[in-house]
Structure 1
Amino acid sequence: MTSTISVLGAGSWGTALAIQAARNGYRTLLWGHDPIHIRTLQQNRTNQRYLPGFVFPNTLETSSELAEAAAFSDLILIAVPSHAFKDTLIKLRRFTGQQVQIAWATKGFAPNDGYLLHYSVERIFSKETPTAVLSGPTFAREVAADLPTAITIASNHAGFSELLTRIFHSARFRTYTSTDMIGVQTGGAVKNVLAIASGIADGLNFGANTRAALITRGLHEIIRLGLELGGRQETFMGLAGLGDLILTCTDNQSRNRRFGLALGQNKNRAAAREEIDQEIEGVSAAKETYLLAQTHGIDMPITEQTYKVLYESLSPLAAVQNLLDRELKAES
């Protein structure tokens, strides 16, 4: 039974999860790589840059020293962007013992190789390391505000998912457990690509019909890829699949959706990124998802057109027209 947890990643999502754990009475250490940012958190007792307006509970501490985070708890929750996930694991490995348990709330694929993130944990630590992934329809601000939320915790060890449930579950934060780590991770990664696509369509003022069609057909793309990678059908109809997809495609709290909106309104990528000023996981996920689809021979037309907008300078309007011009076929 642990009474402590270290959260790596002092962005909005890492901060919200740290607040939730500390609010539940667990001693929590929030780590960030930028000493200046962490010093500001210590002084203000709030994350004014990424999650303003929420005062840290007394049981929440902060640090910019990874060794301190590793020594604080043998339960590590990683909430860094996907491109920094592997590097964070490598650095963490130097400071941890054999009893470490690693969970993550990062959504995406490993850059350059397209692997799901649990493979990085297995290679850098071991296949015996207890691992878990937290995912589902969750905006950081609503979690920090203690608004009703539900997530999925998928783990390779039943005891670990139960421990994480005890840490995070509350009257306003409901947790469901799963053993389908592949399905949960796939849903969390690909939904960001589809959120960009949905934002593009809305930026073009194509309306609710188009958005609903994109979400529905996008879910089919997640399922096709997820089943090929080894996920289970029911996972994609749950919180980490359909639930997360609906959330990010329909609400402007989603950075990926806002990025797509900007592209649909004829802003360039650089301007859209600057406007949002936070990580946009769907950009790298579009490339990795597209390459996975090509490798496995899976039809993912919305992903393909989104990739071409982001990486081949295809205009958003042409991308939508390409989808409409596809050969007619049965729905299933």
Structure 2
Amino acid sequence: MSKVAVLGAGSWGTALSIVLADNGHDVRLWTHRKEQADMINSSHKNEKYLEIMIPRTIKAHHDLAKAVADVSVVVVVVPSKAIREVCTSLDQYITKDITIVHASKGIEPESLKRISEMIDEEMDNYAYEDIAVLSGPSHAEEVGKRQPTTVTVSSLNEQKAEIIQDLFINEAFRVYTSPDILGVELGGALKNIIALGAGISDGLGYGDNAKAALITRGLAEIARLGTSLGANPLTFLGLPGVGDLIVTCTSVHSRNWRAGNLLGKGRDLDEVLDQMGMVVEGVRTTKAAHQFAEKQQIEMPITNGIYKILFENEKPKTVVDQLMNRTKREEMDDLAALLSKKYS
């Protein structure tokens, strides 16, 4: 049995806590809101985020020092915009013997840092190569109900990846390892942009043909940007890439899909975010990816179209028309270019 602190009591943090509790670990679920911690401890529910009973063995905390006292593993599951603040506070309690894994998905605008890079910048007492990331096609609602789910854990330190694999794996939650932390993080972050697009397409009333094309060409954009930064193109054909992309673009569980669906129906962004009541990571990541594409000089027409909808008040129908009327090209050129990066 391990003592594990899960930082972030949203839907995903709660679901991962349930997996860990099922595996017999001593789980402390941290939230910065005292009232939320008290509610979880008294009712064993976290109804705003996940409509499921929480095992009584999970103890919620609002005091970070108490949550991480004597733990061997810290699981960071806070929104990307809160990563720096939480890790700055966490740094004073961390030793090199502790294993840190994050399950957050996003890229920071302006700095264009991935989650692991932000953690590294804010934590003087922990080495970048020891940070692990957990990602893949995994709706919290299904994980919480113990429905079959498969994810990937990655770290530059193979031993750390295996520690997290052993910590989480069970008969309902299968965990693979990968050495490509760059590709795993980028796949998990960038798929939220395409999920916004899938929701917009559905909101406009388009059918499966449109969504299939969006997902496929969206995957090409993700791989194009990822490989330009040094990721393994094959990572995007696995669980953190196409797997996560499919589940996020096709399910009503996806908050990015739901947000996009409202945008496609004519709602403005502020109204959508207010109605969602939870963080929609794809919005922030779209801004970062738009900046990334310009910096890397990578063609990302779907991402740029969604950027126009979110931040330049472009009508969704207009963006679709622009995408459909782009200059004709050969699809295999993209595939050949990606594979050449792997095998050249």
Identify the TM-score tier after normalising by the shorter chain. Answer: over 0.9
Corresponding residue for residue 114 of structure 1: 112
Task: Report the Cα offset of residue 329 of structure 1.
Answer: 0.8
Corresponding residue for residue 130 of structure 2: 130
Corresponding residue for residue 277 of structure 1: 277
Q: Deviations over 1:164-185 (max 9, x none)?
A: 1121111111110011100000
Corresponding residue for residue 323 of structure 1: 323
Q: Would the aligned equivalents of 1:82 and 1:111 in 2 still touch at CA under 8 Å?
A: no
1: CA distance, partners of 2:128 / 2:268: 45
Q: Deviations over 1:234-260 (max 9, x none)?
A: 110000000000111111110000101
Q: Would the aligned equivalents of 2:6 and 2:74 in 1 still touch at CA under 8 Å?
A: yes
2: CA distance, partners of 1:128 / 1:239: 23
Q: Would the aligned equivalents of 2:215 and 2:246 in 1 still touch at CA under 8 Å?
A: yes
Is the counterpart of residue 227 in structure 1 residue 227 in structure 2?
yes
Residue identity opposite 2:7 in structure 1 = L
Corresponding residue for residue 35 of structure 1: 34
Q: Would the aligned equivalents of 2:133 and 2:155 in 1 still touch at CA under 8 Å?
A: yes
1: CA distance, partners of 2:129 / 2:276: 36
Pairing of 1:1-332 with structure 2 (within 5 A): 3-52=2-51, 54-125=52-123, 126-127=126-127, 130-332=130-332
Task: Report the Cα offset of residue 129 of structure 1.
Answer: 5.7
Count residues in correspondence. Answer: 330
Residue identity opposite 2:110 in structure 1 = N
1: CA distance, partners of 2:74 / 2:132: 10
1: CA distance, partners of 2:121 / 2:269: 34
Q: Percent identity?
A: 38
1: CA distance, partners of 2:11 / 2:55: 16
Task: Report the Cα offset of residue 110 of structure 1.
Answer: 2.3
1: CA distance, partners of 2:243 / 2:280: 19
Unaligned runs of 5+ in 2: 333-344
1: CA distance, partners of 2:294 / 2:73: 37
Q: Would the aligned equivalents of 1:38 and 1:64 in 2 still touch at CA under 8 Å?
A: yes
Q: Deviations over 1:213-272 (max 9, x none)?
A: 000000000000111111101110000000000111111110000101001101111221
Are the structure 2 counterparts of residues 230 and 262 from structure 1 closer, same or farther at C-alpha, using a change threshold of 3 Å? same
Task: Report the Cα offset of residue 75 of structure 1.
Answer: 1.1
* 3-state SS, counterpart of residue 18 of structure 1: helix
* 3-state SS, counterpart of residue 270 of structure 1: helix
Q: Would the aligned equivalents of 1:195 and 1:245 in 2 still touch at CA under 8 Å?
A: yes
2: CA distance, partners of 1:141 / 1:276: 16
2: CA distance, partners of 1:123 / 1:271: 34
1: CA distance, partners of 2:16 / 2:113: 25
Task: Report the Cα offset of residue 128 of structure 1.
Answer: 5.3
Deviating above 6 A after TM superposition, structure 1's stretches of 4 or more consecutive aligned residues are none
Q: Deviations over 1:44-81 (max 9, x none)?
A: 111121112x2222331110011112214131100000
* 3-state SS, counterpart of residue 93 of structure 2: coil
* 3-state SS, counterpart of residue 94 of structure 1: helix
Unaligned runs of 5+ in 1: none
Residue identity opposite 1:215 in structure 2 = I
* 3-state SS, counterpart of residue 47 of structure 1: coil
2: CA distance, partners of 1:233 / 1:113: 24
Are the structure 2 counterparts of residues 176 and 72 from structure 1 closer, same or farther at C-alpha, using a change threshold of 3 Å? same
Superposition CA RMSD, Å: 1.2
2: CA distance, partners of 1:269 / 1:129: 38
